[in-house]
Amino acid sequence: MHGLTLGILSAIALSTWLMPAGWVAAAVGVTVGTFGAERMHAEGYRLRVAPIGSALSVLLGYVLHAALTDSVRLAALLSPLGVLRLSESVLFALLGFGFALTVRRFSLQYRIGLGIEAAAAVLAIATSVAAHREGMIARPLSVADWFWRHGVDPVLAFLGIGVGAAVVLAGLLVRGRSARRSLASLFLVLAFGFIAALHMHGLNMGAAGAGADGSEAAEDKGRHDASGGRGYDTPKEDDGLPPAGDGPKARPAAIVVFHREVMPFSGVFYFRHAAFSQYNGVRLVEASQAGIDQDARHDFPVRDEMVPGPQATAAHRSAVAMDVALLTPHSRLFALLDPTEISPMANPEPARFVRAYHVVSNVLTGSFDQLLDRKAGDKTWPADVWAYYTEAPRDPRYRALAEHIRGELKAGYESDPLAIALAVKRYLEETSTYSFVHQYEGDDPTGDFLFSPDRKGYCVHLANALAFLVRTLGVPARVSAGYAVAAENLNGGSALLIKSGDAHAWGEIHLDGVGWVPIEVTPEKSDVQPPPFQEADLQQLLGEMARKEGRTSPQAHEGFRLGALLSQLQNGAAIVLLAFVIVLYAIKAWRLWCACWAKDAARTRLAYRSALDRLTACGWTRWTGESRERFARRASSAAPSFERLSAIHLARVFGREHARARDETSRVDACALAREVGREVSRTTPRWRWIIGCLNPFSWMATK
């Protein structure tokens, strides 16, 4: 059984990379190798024989593999594909045999070898479902699609696989151990796992909640992050930015379901999470002045809220409604530029999503050409607001560089705010390199980047540089942070997946009658290769969940449906469990009292069994190898009558040599003795222990 288990696990692990013939052969090799190791151990072969045999097996496998693949005659006979299958089967069968022979022989000799077997078992199961990690529940398709067709959430299936792996691991580790040591090991594993889970949960909760109140400590830490950290591509919660989490950037963060089709400005959906407009002498931070950036920071709504911002009648804007379902914790909501209405909504799938809300945004849909020849700012702004949005570092290098860039504009565009911003954007794109290699931790991190020889930085440096340069020329600007997702990721659908790696920062300028316009700086040179979008299936799946739609239609799969069966089992589980407990209590009661109605030939035996059940319920059980006479003497301290009942029972069992005792049996009521045993043990046993024994429906199973 042990060898067969390891063989099956090997087949599961290798099925991802090998052809069927290869992983089947590997499974057979592992199974045979395991049996061979156990046979060698039983025959008393020395330990070094196993690794020698394994080395010879591996060497033979590679020699035969090379010989088979180089054989022209065999290829003509079996076809090239047939030769490939044959050579792969031979190679992996011998490799599996050699691996299993040494590992199993070592584990039979030393307990530490069980750890290697357990690690191999965990690796085999983990590799088969590794594609679903980081929230990718749509992968692997061969696993996820099968469960969807049968109406089962793949997450439940993966959890079931994990439980199965734990059972297999436990079986491998406790093999040959005593029950007490096995339980102790299991308790330690569960305890350490529980502590690790609490620690991980605490780290995640801390990341999601730190600095959400905009405290000075959070601001200082955020300033350090912006000057030398990884940037808004993996933003920090201390600045009120969406949390990137501790895993890879491909981890899903949210799903957005649009109520109608819309093409955003510049082909990118910008979801703002925070805005940084207040210059504190070092960098831009979130506004502390009332009435500033009211469109940028929002707590999760408890009722419908209106957000001050551009209306649908504003130039080149279009209203679009959407539902946002969060997959990871966020300290505040994010919304597509520019939100005008925010309202709470019921979580469509509490098992999958953290929370959900509804947003209506007036999306900027115009082009840069349509936004030229507009004035900067807002004609209703007072002078202090103008000064607020145009404050910049006093370093003269900013002014000199900004004037140089403006001097490159064509005549007639020197005062156009959008033309100035586009000129700065183009200059930064041509002269900068997108990179994470440098950290700028001086008093002016943006200046350290902007005036460095190689000008290497990431989105936070580029956005701040753009904002400071255009502010120097009198154009109101700020830096926004959140998520930026390409519109092409929609792929013709209405659901848009947002990943942790989509966290981003960009610059914005304010145009009169239009509002805040995002200005994205994308350097022509980059040290970072953006990953392609490969989550279309997951995006569609999460979108259907957010809309409360089924993964497949009822007609998509006919016949047996695992999900329906599991649902029926779940609905009837309570009834089945109750019936099971009732049956156990009925068996327990029958064993206690059936002797009273039994015939004379069986009455003594059944009464003796009844007394044993009463003792077992209170913790008195016969030890392994202990005779019934010795157990009766030991238990007499709790129930003196049991020793007499035991002697009568043995007299009935052993026959002639106990004739005198058998004659006594005819004059003694065995049932009365069994009841007396029950009364005696109830008096000598602590009350709580006796009550637990009465209530325990399984106690009779331990009777020996």
pLDDT at 626 over 90: no
pLDDT in tens, 28-66: 888 888 888 888 888 888 888 888 998 999 899 899 989
- Of 48-52, 177-181, 494-498, 680-684, which gets the smallest average pLDDT? 177-181
- pLDDT over 60 (residue 14): no
Identify whether 690 is part of a domain: yes
Is 188 found in the same domain as 119?
Answer: yes
Q: Say whether 96 sits in a helix, a strand or coil.
A: helix
Residue 657 CA neighbour count, 13 Å, CB half: 4
The pLDDT value given to residue 187:
67
Contact 49, 119 (CB under 8 A): no
Q: Is it the case that residue 460 has pLDDT exceeding 80?
A: yes
344, two tokens:
């709470």
Q: What is the pTM of this model?
A: 0.59
Q: With contact defined as beta carbons under 8 Å apart, do 608 and 649 qualify?
A: yes
211 within domain boundaries: no
* 466: Cα separation from own chain's centroid: 38
Q: In which domain, by residue range, is 536 found?
A: 216-546
Tokens of 81: 């594909």
CA distance 118 to 120: 5
Q: Are 138 and 197 a contacting pair, CB within 8 Å?
A: no
**What stretches of 347-394 adopt beta strand conformation (E)?**
355-364
Residue 559, in any domain of the structure? no
Same domain, 317 and 220: yes
Do residues 458 and 501 make contact, with C-beta atoms less than 8 angstroms apart? no
Asked which of 169, 202, 235 is the last residue of a domain, the reply is 202
Residue 516 in 3-state DSSP? strand
Q: Say what the pLDDT of residue 116 is.
A: 72
Q: Higher confidence at residue 174 or residue 492?
A: 492
Q: Please classify residue 182 by burial: count the beta carbons closer than 10 Å to its beta carbon, then call 0-12 exposed, 13-18 middle and 19+ buried.
A: middle
pLDDT at position 675, please?
A: 87
Domain identity same for 496 and 582: no
Q: Are 515 and 310 contacting, i.e. CB atoms less than 8 angstroms apart?
A: yes
Give the model confidence (pLDDT) of 337-367 as tens digits. 889 899 999 998 887 888 999 999 988 887 8
Q: Is residue 207 part of a domain?
A: no
* Higher pLDDT, residue 553 or 623: 623
Q: Which string of b and e fits 492-510 if b means at least 16 CB within 10 Å?
A: eebbbbbbbbbbbbbbbbb
**Highest-confidence segment of 13-22, 91-100, 456-465:** 456-465
In the predicted model, what is the mean pLDDT of residues 293-307?
85
Measure CA 200 to chain center: 11
With a pLDDT cut of 70, the percent of the chain lying above it is 71
- Average pLDDT in the 463-488 region? 93
pLDDT of the residue at 541: 80
Task: Give tens-digit pLDDT for 413-455.
Answer: 888 999 999 999 999 999 999 988 888 888 889 999 999 988 9
CA–centroid distance for 101 within its chain: 35
Q: How far is CA 115 from CA 31, 104, 122, 580, in A?
A: 18, 11, 10, 38
Contact 335, 342 (CB under 8 A): yes
Asked if 465 and 334 sit in the same domain, the reply is yes
Query: How is residue 22 written in tokens?
Result: 């290869």
Beta bridge partners of residue 499, listed in sequence order: 252
Give whichever of 304-313, 326-335, 657-666 has the largest mean pLDDT.
326-335
What is each CA distance from 321 to 259, 315, 499, in whole angstroms? 5, 18, 21
Residue identified by tokens 């590794």 is 130
Q: Which residue has the higher pLDDT, 602 or 470?
A: 470
Q: How many CA atoms lie within 13 A of 384 on its CB side?
A: 4
Nearest to 222 by CA among 164, 158, 270, 283: 283
Please, what is the average pLDDT of the chain? 78
* Mean pLDDT across 542-550: 76
For 348, which DSSP code? S
Cβ neighbour number for residue 41 with a 10 Å cutoff: 16
Q: Kindly state whether residues 193 and 248 are assigned to the same domain.
A: no
pLDDT of the residue at 203: 45
- Tell me the mean pLDDT in the region 18-25: 69
**Residue 682 φ/ψ, nearest 5 degrees:** -70, -30
- Residue 497 placed within a domain: yes
The C-alpha atoms of residue 555 and residue 558 are separated, in whole angstroms, by: 6
- In this predicted model, which residue has the larger pLDDT, 582 or 166? 582
Identify whether 630 is part of a domain.
yes
Weakest-pLDDT range from 434-443, 660-669, 683-692? 660-669
Same-domain pairing of 151 and 280: no
Q: What is the pLDDT of residue 647?
A: 86
CA 380, 382, 383, 389 dihedral sign is negative
The whole-number pLDDT of residue 185 equals 62
Do 128 and 253 fall into the same domain?
no
Q: Which residues pair with 503 in a beta bridge?
A: 483
For residue 182, pLDDT beyond 50: yes
For CA atoms 537, 541, 546, 547, the dihedral sign is: positive
Q: Considering the domain boundaries, does residue 426 fall inside one?
A: yes
pLDDT category at 401 given cuts 50, 70, 90 is: very high
Last residue of a domain, one of 202, 231, 254: 202
Name the nearest CA neighbour of 368 among 429, 434, 296, 426: 426
User: Do 581 and 489 belong to one domain?
Assistant: no
Residue 558 lies in a domain: no
One-letter identity of residue 511: L
pLDDT tens, position by position, 505-520: 999 999 988 889 999 9
For residue 149, pLDDT over 70 is answered with no
Q: How far is CA 201 from CA 113, 224, 331, 350, 497, in A?
A: 33, 25, 16, 18, 24
Which of the four pLDDT bands, split at 50, 70 and 90, describes residue 317? confident
CB 440 within 8 A of CB 227: yes
pLDDT computed for residue 550 by the predictor: 43
pLDDT of residue 673: 86
Neighbours of 51 (CB within 10 A): 14
Lay out the sheet containing 305-306: strands in order across: 305-306, 339-344, 355-364, 317-326, 252-258, 495-499
Give the residue-averaged pLDDT of 572-591.
Answer: 84
pLDDT at 359: 93
Please give the Cα distance from 608 to 677 (Å, whole number): 10
Q: Is the pLDDT of residue 469 over 60?
A: yes
Q: Return the pLDDT at 558.
A: 47
What's the domain count of the chain?
A: 3
- The CA distance from 137 to 279, in Å, is 43
Q: Are residues 25 and 146 in the same domain?
A: yes
Residues 225 and 154 in one domain: no
pLDDT on residue 552: 41
Residue 243 and residue 304 in one domain: yes
* pLDDT for the residue numbered 404: 93
Owner of token pair 């409604």 = 321
Strand ranges (E), 384-527: 433-434, 456-457, 477-486, 495-499, 503-511, 515-519, 525-526
Instruction: Quote the pLDDT of residue 238.
Output: 39
98-102, 110-114, 200-204: which range is least confident on average? 200-204
Question: Are residue 312 and residue 449 in the same domain, yes or no?
Answer: yes
